[in-house]
Structure 1
């Protein structure tokens, strides 16, 4: 809390008719930094008497509320009252206060409004109005070791994750401790805060200024926030101390008083955006910072700068790095962003992030997280076409962020248009992604950049000069756009795997034969996002999706056993006459067969989640399918559905319970099936199977022992009934030798399922596909090769 002059407070006490006892407590509270207990002890009164006096004081000022809120309201009122009076000039300035605390209090009062105006709000990107900094601010974490200065071999970094089965966040994950930013500022007197573009450096410095002026942090210091670009471009090029003095309007604080504040080490000097200073002004600004930080070394200094942006040497400063946002920070930011609109939107936003990990990766950068919040606001969802979302994110980093703030940077590659920059990044992305290299040495990266530059008009042809230029280009991309990040000394990667995938997709999409080459990776998990992005980029995705379909069908084309499995699904679906697409029925039966056919090991291996996604795209559950038929089609269709798919689902449930030894529900399961309209032989067989079960309720121990001895045979008899009467439950894994699936076939079947899942996801995305091609693909999903060829001949 800021200290006010006692004479001023005494005048206010008289004006508001405070009693002598009330005045003593009132003046002491707002003129010193003593605690309530210390003040009570000074006047020899109890804690209760102290609170009573203050409650009367608040009434005199007509201030209501509870707790510290009343104290803050009165403090702010007194500050405004003081600023609107002439007391500061007439009683303080001329007599150079003997107590430095009084001077600090006076200067804090005079700079308060300036700090609130310059640091109290933020407006970035396409925000239609400013938002209060305290309303949106999320605590920043700091890394004490700069990641780009850590020595690691590329093999060490690569060993930290599995290229075929890794958590996406691991590529940018750091192992060192993350320390709250406020704690770091307390710990060091001189800090150089480094960070990637959009990491929140400026917001952090503004937050420090607001916290300080509001009395919540370093309350004995005067916060001074300077945008270095504005200082560098100021008229007549004043020195830094003179520029700081000019901040105070109407000479409310003199240069001598500022000098006194600095000499007594009572300033918190926040210098923002060293990287934004033009090359022509840079050396002069560096000298000014060195001079003032050396001359007034007992003050606190915090400078912000982008990583890799500038060469500097501040010997007494400690370099630290702003850490990427973690899950907790992302959630806090989202909650703050949406709380004034609707807290439920925040929950939905966070849920959607969890469903879209490539999108969530971008949220680790505060600037891109802001973009995601803005995108989400309009439709309460992210764009279905992810390539468009990522394109906007790239646009923010490549040009929009600096342009919005009016910053022109000295670019060593000014001749490269926005498209050329994207082409360069795409060339690097494709080459490295195809090799599975998520991390690459600086020399290799420079050579790729040099190769691109070499092929441009008017480029240098000398290899050494090209390599020098390529290093400058690399550092510019890193510092100005943040799309390359130095993960360890001399080892780079794209800032986010999402952007690596985006530029890979862009490179494939814009080159001849790119699509034909891409489909060769149809069964490689790490290419999944690239496929989705390419589909979204194409004006017409017909050719691409047909290439995918052909490649998928060929995965199982030469395996007779797997073709027999697909043929069973086709025959089963064809036997049921319902007003659905055949693929929907085939999907239902592949899912049923997976549950009742494969053992635990194989079931754990084969993932059929995409089946659910496809059906949910049209209907939520089987019950919804039934209601759909009942409402929109004939009663006959409903009964057909009930006595086919629903009945088979009941059999699958019975089999699953038996397989896992849940014998206590088997009789109920069979009773449920017997309620269906069954053919006599099936009804007899089921009843006979049910009669074999002991009465579980009457003799549980006997049932348990019976099941140990007879359970396997009972399950096999159930399977035989399912195969004979329903054509489901085939033991593709364990029956006669010619039908048994080996490990290689199981792996191949999983790749087939995954690839079809990817194709279905492309169809469900926002890519453009003609109705004819969409119908053809859906109609032929999961069909055996023989049937596909037959349909081609018919056409």
Structure 2
């Protein structure tokens, strides 16, 4: 692990309560203590769910909390009698003494149960060296009866569409209601399947934290929009990996289009790993999303009706002879969080940046699509897409000469998101000066 990755892993995860002021930001461990203390005061259950995007820091938060609590649990000692039976000492009287047990719910498959995962986790992370023995599956219930456990249940989103596994999780929590539970789930997928829980949302890194990880010099060269992206934990992991492989991470940070592509495609790959049906590969999913985003931008639509979406997806399936029904494709894209349904049977992308990226990628991969919209580039509607096209295009020279001929102000704006050759830069300046000389004063000021 590189020094930057170690810094990122050690940087404390901050959260905010769901549906609150975005400026409210507290350390995850403090939020957990406050939630559980409030639950004990009113005699409620000590359970909460941590929401966030793929790679946003949910697992980091659980691992950090496990490490912190485990340090207070070191006085717990297990022994075995002559017959190998588990003997549990009295629990420490200190209020708040718990045994943290981390479980990745994505591992609930091929005969694994929550009990077997508890056994494996306990044997991996608790000191059994003195006895050279491990607890068995049959001894897990005694352990749970003897100690208060904090269950850190990661990746609930991997099982939300699996009714059998969700029932197993729900039953376990009901049967062990005295325990404490923290679950993680991708934003938008938790809809009360396990009851009404306190909901926390993972917050991005702040400016000081991002500077500490990237280094002040590397951070200082970024423009405002790129600095905002660099606050994302997943994006930082991608950049650190690129740098360790010998790529020039600095160049990637200076290119908004490349930066967003790395972020969105890594997020797409991570989300597809939780889809058990494996209908779409990342490449196929990207092609479908490109077709949808491009058509939505051409139609000046931020959302589509179900019929509109059906027409676009069916056209893609017919062109590529894919053997799936359009609704299966749409539901898969919804399950992985790329498309979001509203109450009026409408559909939209999960966020504006994702929609703009896939529209831009569609134009770069099929240049004919770009040529059909060049006459509209003066509209602000296309501005965020063109910023990304500039970054995604391998050699943007022809692209900039095309848009210079149509709208020099748009070309000048987009140019700030890509390092350009002196030929393009000189042409931009000359064209801008020439056009401004022929414009009235008010237009020059604009």
- Would the TM-score normalized by the shorter structure come out above 0.5? yes
Q: Over residues 307-359 of structure 1, what are the superposed CA-to-partner deviations in whole Å (9 max), with x where a residue is unaligned?
A: 466898324x516252442xxx3324314424xxx5x34xx51x445x231x3
Query: Contact conserved, 1:229 with 1:274, CA < 8 A, in 2?
Result: yes
TM superposition shift of 1:137: 2.5
How far apart are residue 197 of structure 1 and its match? Answer: 1.4
Structure-2 residue corresponding to 1:410 = 276
Tell me the distance in 1 between the aligned counterparts of 2:359 and 2:118. Answer: 50
Query: 2:263 matched to which residue of 1?
Result: 393
Q: Counterpart of 1:330?
A: 206
Cα pair distance change 1:495/1:252, threshold 3 Å: same
Offset from partner CA, 1:197-240 (integer Å, 9 cap, x none): 12222112212212212339974111111223345457799656
Distance in 1 (CA, whole Å) between partners of 2:200 and 2:267 is 19
Match of 2:412 in 1: 757
Q: CA contact under 8 A between 1:330 and 1:363: conserved in structure 2?
A: no
Q: Summarize the alignment of residues 595-614 of structure 1 with structure 2, pairs less than 5 Å apart.
A: none
For 1:453 and 1:198, the matched residues in 2 are separated by: 31
Instruction: Note if 1:320 corresponds to 2:199.
Output: yes
Residue 89 of structure 2 is aligned to residue 221 of structure 1: no
**Partner SS state of residue 413, structure 1:** coil
The Cα shift of 1:306 comes to: 2.7
**Number of the residue aligned with 2:15:** 140
Say whether residues 1:494 and 2:374 are aligned partners: no
Determine whether 1:293 maps to 2:293. no
The structure in which a higher percent of residues are strand is 2
Equivalent runs, 1:104-503 vs 2, <5 Å: 131=6, 135-143=10-18, 181-182=28-29, 183-184=31-32, 185-186=35-36, 187-188=38-39, 189-215=46-72, 219-230=96-107, 232-233=109-110, 239=116, 242-243=119-120, 246-247=123-124, 249=128, 250-251=132-133, 259=141, 262-263=144-145, 266-276=148-158, 285-307=165-187, 313-315=193-195, 318=197, 320-325=199-204, 329-338=205-214, 344-345=216-217, 349=219, 351-353=220-222, 355-357=223-225, 359-363=226-230, 365-372=232-239, 380=250, 382-399=252-269, 401=270, 409-414=275-280, 417-440=281-304, 444-445=308-309, 448-459=312-323, 465-467=325-327, 469-478=328-337, 483-484=338-339, 493-503=348-358
Q: 1:506 aligns with which of 336, 347, 361?
A: 361
CA distance in 2 between counterparts of 1:431 and 1:264 reads 60
Are the equivalent residues in 2 in contact too, given 1:195–1:307 (CA < 8 A)?
A: yes
Contact 1:191 1:319 in 2 (8 A): yes
Give the Cα–Cα distance (whole angstroms) in 2 for the partners of residues 180 and 487 of structure 1: 32
Secondary structure, aligned partner of 2:434: coil
Greater gyration radius? 1
Deviations 1:94-143 (A, max 9, x none): xxxxxxxxxxxxxxxxxxxxxxxxxxxxx6xxx58862676223323341
User: SS state of the match for residue 783, structure 1?
Assistant: helix
Computed over aligned residues only, the root mean square deviation of the Cα atoms, in angstroms, reads 4.4
5+ long unaligned stretches in structure 2: 40-45, 74-93, 439-446
Give the Cα separation in 1 of the matches to 2:400 and 2:9: 49
Native 8 Å contact 1:274 1:303 kept in 2: yes
The SS at the match of 1:766 is coil
Q: SS at 1:782's partner residue? A: helix
- Counterpart-to-counterpart distance in 1, 2:108 and 2:228: 36
- Count of matched residue positions in the alignment of Structure 1 and Structure 2: 400
Cα distance change on mapping 1:447 and 1:394 into 2, 3 Å:
same
Structure 1 residue aligned with 2:402: 547
Q: Is the 2:257–2:388 Cα contact (8 Å) retained in structure 1?
A: yes
Distance across 2 between alignment mates of 1:363 and 1:496 = 17
Please say if residues 411 and 476 of structure 1, whose CA atoms lie closer than 8 Å, have aligned partners that are also in contact. Answer: no
**Contact map agreement 1:142 1:180 (CA 8 A) in 2:** no
Contact 1:446–1:474, Cα closer than 8 Å, also in 2: no
TM-score for the superposition, normalised by structure 1: 0.43
CA contact (8 A) 1:137 1:333 kept: no
Aligned to 1:677: none
Name the structure 2 match of 1:521.
376
The TM-score, its normalising length taken from structure 2, stands at: 0.71
Distance 1:178 1:778, change over 3 A: closer
CA distance in 1, matches of 2:8, 2:362: 40
C-alpha separation between the residues in 2 aligned to 1:208 and 1:432?
Answer: 43
**Distance in 2 of aligned mates of 1:129 and 1:551:** 44
CA distance in structure 1 between the aligned counterparts of 2:27 and 2:340, rounded to whole angstroms: 22
- The question of whether the paired residues in 1 share the 8 Å contact of 2:101 and 2:152 is answered with yes
Q: Distance in 2 between matches of 1:200 and 1:296?
A: 27
- Cα deviation, 1:419-450, whole Å, max 9, x if unaligned, reads 33222112222222344434556675455434
**1:309–1:475 contact (8 Å) kept in structure 2:** no
The verdict on how the C-alpha distance between 1:273 and 1:777 changes in structure 2, with shifts beyond 3 A counting, is closer
Partner of 1:47: none
Helix, strand or coil at the partner of 1:214? helix
1:397, 1:427 → 2: CA distance? 19
Question: In the alignment, what sits opposite 1:783?
Answer: 434
Alignment CA distance shift 1:333-1:255 (3 Å): same
